[in-house]
Amino acid sequence: MPKIPPYSMEFRLEAVRLLRSSDRSVPQLARELGVSPQSLRNWSVQLAVDEGKADGLSSAERDELRRLRRENRILAEEREILKKAGGLLRPGRRDPVSVFRFIAAEKASHSIAIMCRVLEVSRSGYHAWTRRPPAPRTLADARLTERIRELHTKRRGVYGSPRIWSDLVLDDGERIGRKRVERLMRQAGLSGLIAKKWRATTVRVPGVRVADDLLDRNFAAGAPNRCWVADITYLRTWQGWLYLVAVQDLYSRRIVGWAMADHLRAELVTDALEMALAHRRPDRGLIWHSDQGSQFVSLAFGQKARAAGIAQSMGSKGDCFDNAVAESFFATLKKELIHRRSWPTKAELRTEVFDYIETFYNRERRHSTLGQRSPADYEKMHLPVIAQEQAA
């Protein structure tokens, strides 16, 4: 709405005419009329321009200029509203409540009347919506969003909607659909992490005989300690490389042994083997599956494996899918921990990897292969059943 001037055009004209026809000075007449002297001078100059006696913009031209500037401001505001509104005007997405939420969020930056006109909703409808108490579903969404934020933080910011949904359903007992969790996470700006591309790092020894592939990509195990998979990965720090070997039980996907060092000698994998044997104490006949890396075909490792009654198995040359489970663990580790920041020291990285494996991955992190259970929970649920079946 245009601003109404405090003095009408007729008042201004008569004041200037009185100034011209009398011998009173500008300050004296301004004081008698109750206006400022500068205003009276401006009116006098403008009347001279309108009469063609002085150069400048006439009153009509000034009014037209003000009108055009006002229209430009409105057009710029409308364009900004449309840019912010995104897809609210797309066919099939005309949800008035979503439009009302947008208006409520932007009312400090834009006129409510202009937003209602541009977004094609009524002002009365918007104001009625603001006075209406929140719907039960809206309150439930707000409560769930807050809980989702808590879970996302608790899970180190790595969970996407499938695992957050499992937390809500399995732990909290919520009756909620996956699409709803996905929508609430998207609206809250929360998401899981995306893995980087895989790069081969296996170092082979040419001319050395390797073990046969006993798994043939069958990564299912009916009981614990029947088949372990292992692999080595490189972890970068400011002080140089740190090398990690991890041993994983295919039954529960638990990391049963691991070792870290700043070298790639054979003792790196023998240390991981000794940790796994101490933790699990498997029966003879266990299958150890790995790639054809030089550490796994070394004499020292082969001797320790045979002494423990372990049958070695190796995938084909240059095929990461033959050891997909071990590769998947390292991809997860790097996505959820290593690649999220840089690591100044090897000692700091060692501590964080230890915490990730023993605290988070083995005991808390949900696995889709295990029905969204952690390895520890999965073993706790199924080991008594296996023991009963073996006893029978």
pLDDT tens digits for the chain (392 residues)? Answer: 455 567 788 888 888 888 888 888 888 888 888 888 888 888 888 878 777 788 877 778 888 888 888 889 888 888 888 888 877 777 665 678 888 888 888 888 888 998 888 888 899 998 998 888 888 888 888 899 999 999 998 888 888 888 999 989 888 899 999 999 999 988 888 888 776 554 555 545 554 557 778 888 888 888 889 999 999 999 999 999 999 999 999 999 999 999 999 999 989 999 999 999 999 999 899 988 888 888 888 888 888 889 999 888 888 776 678 788 889 999 999 999 999 899 999 999 999 999 999 999 999 999 888 888 999 999 988 877 555 555 54
Q: Do both 57 and 154 map to the same domain?
A: no
**What CATH number does the domain containing 339 carry?**
3.30.420.10
The pLDDT of residue 251 is: 92
- The domain of 182 spans 136-188
Identify whether 221 is part of a domain: no
In this structure, are 172 and 320 located in the same domain?
no
Domain-embedded: residue 193: no
Do residue 57 and residue 71 come from a single domain? yes
Is 31 part of any domain? yes
Q: Please name the amino acid found at residue 323.
A: N
Q: Based on the fold, state whether residues 35 and 93 are members of the same structural domain.
A: yes
Q: Are residues 154 and 271 in the same domain?
A: no
* 121 and 152 part of one domain: no
Give CA–CA dist 103/126, Å, rounded: 8
372 and 262 in a common domain: yes
At residue 38's C-alpha, the angle toward residues 33 and 40, to 5°, is: 45
Q: Are residues 173 and 319 in the same domain?
A: no
Flag whether 333 is in a domain: yes
Which pair of structure tokens corresponds to residue 315?
């995938």
153 and 264 co-located in one domain: no
Residue 66 in any domain: the answer is yes
Residue 215 maps to a domain: no
Same domain, 258 and 113: no
Decide if 257 is inside a domain.
yes
Radius of gyration of the chain (CA): 38
Quick one: 95 and 158 in the same domain?
no
What's the domain count of the chain?
3
* 122/269 same-domain check: no
- Is residue 4 a part of any domain in this protein? no
pTM for the whole thing?
0.61
